[in-house]
Amino acid sequence: MTAAEKPIADKPSSDISARQDPAGAAALSIEGVSHSYGARRALIDVSFDVAPASFTALLGLNGAGKSTLFSLITRLFGIQTGRIGIFGHDISRAPGEALRLLGVVFQPRTLDLDLSVTQNLLYHAALHGISRREARLRSGEVLARIALSDRAGSKVRDLSGGQMRRLEIARALLHRPRLLLLDEATVGLDVKARSDILNHVRQLVSEQGIGVLWATHLFDEITASDDLVVLHQGKVLARGQVSRVIADTGAQDINTAFMRLTGAVGKGVSEAS
Amino acid sequence: MSSITVTPSRRGFSFAEYITCLNGIVWREALRFLHQRERFISALVRPLVWLFIFAAGFRQVLGISIIPPYETYILYEVYIAPGLMAMIQLFNGMQSSLSMVYDREMGNMRTLLVSPLPRGYLLFCKLLAGTAVSLLQVYAFLVIAWLWDITPPPIGYLTVLPALVLSGLMLGALGMLISSGIKQLENFAGVMNFVIFPMFFASSALYPLWRVQEGSPMLYYVCQLNPFTHAVELIRFALYGQINWISLGVVAGCTAVFMIGAILAYDPSRGLARRGPAGGET
């Protein structure tokens, strides 16, 4: 590994892994994960942690490997190399225990457009073994929280893009997970819808102590106090608190820091801008 | 990097959780079916066309001698009714697997697959749900057939149920096994030509096997090896309160083999991996 490729901020002042839950496990632990599609390497020795009750941004251009990583964490793909743990439960060895603690919002819409808002929630609850009565109670609560109570009986295809995303987040929280993954959750939304969703997710971190991994390629969704993982061409180029990453690259802002990091491996600057 | 330290989390799942999951998947499948009225109508029209038109035309051409489970001479419409019931299930099984390929391509399948319950169990629930939907169609067909004077003994409507469940599972599992090998939706048209039509026509659904043997001994053996033939015969005997043990054994065995094969072969990443580069997801 060259100096340029070596992840910077490996031991930041507010080390992500230092903040763990009372039992001592990181919300998400990724160790030495590599993945290939035939000859094409999508992920190369990726390692990082997400602490409980933290907001971690996974920043990378399109094609960086973010969605592949999400597919591995959610067990949609089998792990080829390395290991992934959710609150200490190995996703390969104890998938049931791991997935029980995980909520996911995928990049493509995964709602059933022909079912109503409530029916989508009840279906998700059933897939987690939650009884119909309990599911109805929780559905009412989450719909109230995302201001969609009045659309409970509407077909999903009649909702706006922002409402669908809010519903997907509500659905991902229905089984009360402790780790939430969101893959480019604001893509295709207007400015207000983006802001609402981001604020809602940040509230979940501060008020409910949920660990969040937020995959994005948009710099303005990241704040200085967030934890950051920069993924580029399948490799982790930097990890640590955003302010630390910026300082270590000698940049003034995350935009410039990202350019310098990705420029260090030769490509992507024009794409990022 | 933290060492792996386990946070206590409830291990395993209770019986009630398994049942809740099964109920949810069957409920969703039934809702989708009821929302798609065209699918329901076309599922009924297909066998009815065979019953009202094909059977009426061939009634005089094809004579049916007395063969078990029938105790007297029967009309051709009566003979092909069990074959048409199995045909409903055959098409439904393929339709279910088609919808699985569609769900996989559209992303809906991810909702199912990130459930913490065992993946094999989830796929089994999908199969049961597809079978439940096929039962609705078959019983709707039986009601119309009754009006057309196809009247098996009343107890037959009950005794045929387990046979329909088993044959529905077998054909659903076969559909799932086929869908596990299909990379994209467009390839599914080939299933019609290479699976559904050969299975249906090379069986005892439309003509008794002794008739086939007279015409072509080779085709007779092909029909005997066709699991669909045994699904038809299992249903035919069950509709008259009897059990065809050979057919029961073949259908049960094929159900187990297809189901295990489908669960082992089902790779959720197949459609997703293809979507990745094309859809901007990597």
Predicted confidence (pLDDT) per residue in A14-70, tens digit: 344 444 454 678 999 999 999 998 889 999 999 999 999 999 999 998 889 998 999
Q: Is residue A88 within 8 angstroms of chain B, CB to CB? A: yes
Q: Is residue B37 within 8 angstroms of chain A, CB to CB? A: no
How far apart are alpha carbons A163 and A156 in whole angstroms? 9
pLDDT at B270: 52
* pLDDT at B1 > cutoff 50: no
Residue type, A208: Q
pLDDT at B60: 67
Average pLDDT value for residue range B130-151: 91
Taking CB atoms and an 8 Å limit, are A37 and B276 in contact across chains?
Answer: yes
* pLDDT at B276 > cutoff 70: no
- What's the whole-model pTM score? 0.81
Closest CA in chain B for residue A71: B269
CA atoms within 13 A on the CB side of B31: 17
Which is more confident, B187 or B90? B90
Q: Is A34 helix (H, G, I), strand (E, B) or coil?
A: strand
Residues of chain A with pLDDT under 50: 1-20, 22, 266-273
Q: Is residue A36 within 8 angstroms of chain B, CB to CB? A: no
pLDDT at B65: 67
Chain mean pLDDT for chain B = 82
> Which residues of chain B neighbour A131 with C-beta distances below 8 Å?
16, 20
pLDDT at B186: 65
- Rounded to two decimals, the ipTM of the complex is 0.80
Which is more confident, A270 or B155? B155
pLDDT band at B184 (very low <50, low <70, confident <90, very high): low
Taking CB atoms and an 8 Å limit, are B20 and A25 in contact across chains?
Answer: no
- Cβ contacts below 8 Å, chain A against chain B, sum to 165
Instruction: Report the run of H or E that residue B132 belongs to, with start and end.
Output: helix B119-147
pLDDT band at B239 (very low <50, low <70, confident <90, very high): very high
> Which residues of chain A neighbour B282 with C-beta distances below 8 Å?
42, 62-68
> Which residues of chain B neighbour A109 with C-beta distances below 8 Å?
107
Of the listed ranges A135-144, B12-21, B55-64, B228-237, the one predicted with least confidence = B55-64
Taking CB atoms and an 8 Å limit, are A76 and B269 in contact across chains?
Answer: yes
- By the 10 Å C-beta count (0-12 exposed, 13-18 middle, 19+ buried), B220 is classed as middle
> Which residues of chain B neighbour A94 with C-beta distances below 8 Å?
11
| Residue from the list A31, A64, A101 with its beta carbon closest to the beta carbon of B9 | A101
Taking CB atoms and an 8 Å limit, are A68 and B282 in contact across chains?
Answer: yes
Closest CA in chain A for residue B26: A123
How far apart are alpha carbons B238 and B244 in whole angstroms? 8
Rounded to 5 degrees, φ, ψ at A131 are -60, 155
Taking CB atoms and an 8 Å limit, are A42 and B282 in contact across chains?
Answer: yes
pLDDT band at B178 (very low <50, low <70, confident <90, very high): confident
Q: Is residue A182 within 8 angstroms of chain B, CB to CB? A: no
pLDDT at A14: 38
pLDDT at B150: 85
Q: Which of residues 260-279 of B touch A (CB under 8 A)?
A: 268-269, 272-273, 275-277, 279
Residue type, A239: R
Average pLDDT value for residue range B172-198: 77
